[in-house]
Amino acid sequence: MRKVCLVCERTAPDGNLLCHEVYCPAETSPLLLDPGERLGEIEIVRLLVVLRSAALYEVRQGQRSVLLKVAHPGAEHTDRLKREAKFLNDPAVRQEREPGLPRVLPPYLMTGGQADPYGRATIQGRLLYYCVFERFDGVPLRDLMFERPQLGVYEVGWLLMGLARTLDYLQQKGLYHYGLSPESVLVRFDKRGAPRPLLWDLGIAGTRNEVEQHWYRGFLHPAYTAPELIDAQRPALSLATDVYGLGLILYELLNGAPAYPYRLRSDQEIFDAVRKVDRLSSDRVDVRKIAALADRAISKDPMARPTSARALRDELRAEVGEPPAAGPNLEVSPRTALIVTLALLGLALLILLGYTASELPRIFAAP
């Protein structure tokens, strides 16, 4: 395990983090798991993403490859993870299978679906809470942005439409997110080249009553915090606040840089920039309507933004149309492939035995 600062991203392999930046809260930094470390039956393969509230890993659980979300220490973070896990495990949500949400799996192999949808494990004297998600063959959106600073306009539009659809699904369920950022999204490209996003982190993951009861700002990155949330003890609940998060991602995809740069800047400096709307100007004159939509979505005034995720999605659809249909999923799991292979071998053996049995009388009757 190693300790990491969530502000300046310095790490310490021995857990003794000393940062020279005066705004770095080294003493509250979480520990991250390294490849090869284990949480019971789960073996860490690699770290994928680190948020202010949790980390996402690719892991092995028994014979299967899955995703592992581990909450950082702290009652606020662990309670948020529990709410998220219970929502994803709700029978209605599981049956509806919204494609942009992760599929929660049992946290322990031997318990099936009878236990809580989240697990607990102790490592080096620390109690950690975690969720296990079905494998998603994608990359963090932040990594994709580094590799391809400016995607094509149709890829950008379709990616945001997928995210907006998932956020609309949450909004229709009465949930607020409030923490959308490129780090909270995984992306894969299907066989037709269309981006398919997965919202692996559900933000505050709360209904109106839950947000009012459990609100805390510590899970938000300041560069992706809506202006109305910065100084709020209890935020005014609005769908337009989540539209702001969609707008920031749209803006960043169009311009190749975040609206509010945050590298080597203190949280307070970033919050001040958001309050003053001191952000980079858009230079995408080739897609004026979509760039204007991004600017409206990140307006300081919530009333100037699209009213909901669905409204933003409808505006994008008018510009780029619907993405190509994903088509049938022809991929099979290794377990299924093994079963099919063994079945075919068994069938071939039966045919061979039947043929041999039918030929034996002729063989022995031959002179």
Beta pairing partners, 4: 11
pLDDT value for 367 = 55
Whether 139 has a pLDDT exceeding 50, the answer reads: yes
pLDDT band at residue 343 using 50, 70 and 90 as cut-offs: confident
Mean per-residue pLDDT of the chain: 86
Whether 28 has a pLDDT exceeding 60, the answer reads: no
Query: Rounded distance, CA 184 to CA 245, Å?
Result: 11
Phi-psi map region of 196: left, alpha, beta (phi>0 left; psi -120 to 50 alpha): beta
In the chain, ranges of CATH 3.30.200.20 domains: 33-133
DSSP 320-332: H-PPPP-------
Span 158-181, pLDDT tens digits: 999 999 999 999 999 999 999 999
- The predicted model gives 184-195 an average pLDDT of 94
**What is the reported pTM?**
0.82
Whether 346 has a pLDDT exceeding 60, the answer reads: yes
Q: How many CB atoms lie within 10 A of CB 132?
A: 24
pLDDT value for 288 = 87
Show Cβ contacts of residue 95 under 8 Å, excluding neighbours closer than 6 positions: none
Residue 89: closest CA among 115, 60, 120: 115
Architecture of the 139-320 domain: Orthogonal Bundle (1.10)
In the chain, ranges of CATH 1.10.510.10 domains: 139-320
- The predicted model gives 61-87 an average pLDDT of 94
| CATH code, 33-133 | 3.30.200.20
Q: How many CB atoms lie within 10 A of CB 318?
A: 11
DSSP 117-145: SSEEEEETTEEEEEEEE-----EEHHHHH
pLDDT value for 232 = 84
Span 30-66, pLDDT tens digits: 789 999 999 888 999 999 999 999 999 999 998 899 9
pLDDT value for 334 = 55
